[in-house]
Amino acid sequence: MRVVIGEDEALMRLGLTLVLEQGGIEVAAVAGDAPTLIAEAAAHRPDLVITDIRMPPDNSDDGLRAALAIRVAQPEVAVLVLSQFVQRQYALELMSDGAAGVGYLLKQRIADIDGFLHDLKIVQTGGTILDREVAGALVERARRTDDVVEALTPRQRDVLVLMAEGNSNAAIAQRLEIAEKTVVQHTSLIYDRLGIAESDAHHRRVLAVVRFLAR
């Protein structure tokens, strides 16, 4: 896998490089601001772009907008954005074009090296990853405002959160320490209740769940 990184802060850059090194991933270029990131992505045509949301020149959400621009210009490139505080709106914006291969994580998740590399793989192969913080916040909010979600059992809500995170059924089973068959039971019921079409493709599932939760 070849990646292009967008990060202006030296220590974070070092951390990312170490983690990617451990995963045997090649870093094609490192950009220190949003315009350079777009240029490097165009020049190197990586498999994946990893970028901080907050980048120069404006230091507001330049990185996010650069990522969205790259997705338009180069749809085959997967994108993972990192942020210090996960916001629901950023997640929705990232997923607004409905395409696959997008991820949104808190910066500190990269310290969980194995988990992070695993997430990279998923995103690069067209999956969708949402940080469990934002997934949890989405479900919690839905629980308060939506009767359908309110009516789910706590266990079913846990499954829903994990679905929103972008986990496969197997991963959900592992996390909750239950059988995969049970997971399938839960997900079927959830599809039914939420009115979502059944789909195995992870990103479509995440998309559907998040769309439902965010309305």
Partner 1 sequence: MRSTSLFWALAVIGGSLLLFAAVEIVLMVVGPVEPTWLILAFPLMGLTYGATGIEAWRRRPSNRIGLLLVLGAWCWLLAGLANVEDEVLIVVGQLAATVGIAVIVHLVLAFPPGRLPDRASRWISISAYVTTTVFEVPLWLFNPSSPAMIRDHPDLDRLAHWFQRSLGAVIFVAFVVVVVRRLMAAPPPARRVLAPLLGYGVFTAVMVPVSANVLPVLVGIDPLTLATIQLAVLMVVPLAFTLGLLRGGFAQTGELVELGASLGADLDRPELAAALSATLGDPSVEVGFWLPGRSRYVDAAGRPLDLAVGRERRRVDIDVGGRPVGVIGYDATLLADADLVRTAGRVVAIAIDRQRLDVELRASYEALRTSRARIVEAGDAERRRIARDLHDGLQGRLVLLAIRAQRLVDRVGPGDARDQAQEVRFGMDAAIEELRALVHGVMPALLIERGLEAATAELVDRMPIPTELAARVRPLPASVESTAYLVVAESLANGVKHSRADHMWVRLDVIGSELCVEIRDDGVGGAATNGGSGLRGITDRVDALGGRVDVDSPAGRGTVVRVEVPCGS
Q: 3-state SS of the chain: helix, strand, coil percent to 5?
A: 60, 15, 25
Interface with partner 1, residue 18, by CB under 8 A: yes
Residue 89 C-beta: closest distance to partner 1, Å:
6
Question: Whole-angstrom Cα distance, residue 177 to residue 175?
Answer: 5
Out of 19, 49, 117, 173, name the contact with partner 1 by CB under 8 A: 19
Out of 44, 88, 204, 211, name the contact with partner 1 by CB under 8 A: 88
Residue 199 C-beta: closest distance to partner 1, Å:
27
Contacts with partner 1 in 49-68 (CB under 8 A)? 53-54, 59-61
DSSP state of 108: G
Interface with partner 1, residue 114, by CB under 8 A: yes
Interface with partner 1, residue 72, by CB under 8 A: no
Question: Whole-angstrom Cα distance, residue 133 to residue 113?
Answer: 18
Interface with partner 1, residue 108, by CB under 8 A: yes
CA atoms within 13 A on the CB side of 125: 8
Cross-strand bridge partners of residue 131: none
Interface with partner 1, residue 10, by CB under 8 A: yes
208's enclosing H/E stretch is helix 202-214
Interface with partner 1, residue 151, by CB under 8 A: no
The contacts of residue 105 (CB under 8 Å, 6+ apart) are 80, 81, 82, 83, 86, 116, 119, 129, 131
DSSP state of 119: H
The nearer residue to partner 1, 117 or 183, going by C-beta atoms, is 117
Residue 131 C-beta: closest distance to partner 1, Å:
12
User: Residue 19 in contact with residue 118, Cβ under 8 Å?
Assistant: no
Out of 96, 145, 153, 188, name the contact with partner 1 by CB under 8 A: 145
Interface with partner 1, residue 171, by CB under 8 A: no
Binding site for partner 1 (CB under 8 A): 9-12, 14-15, 18-19, 22, 53-54, 59-61, 83-85, 87-89, 107-108, 110-114, 137, 141, 144-145
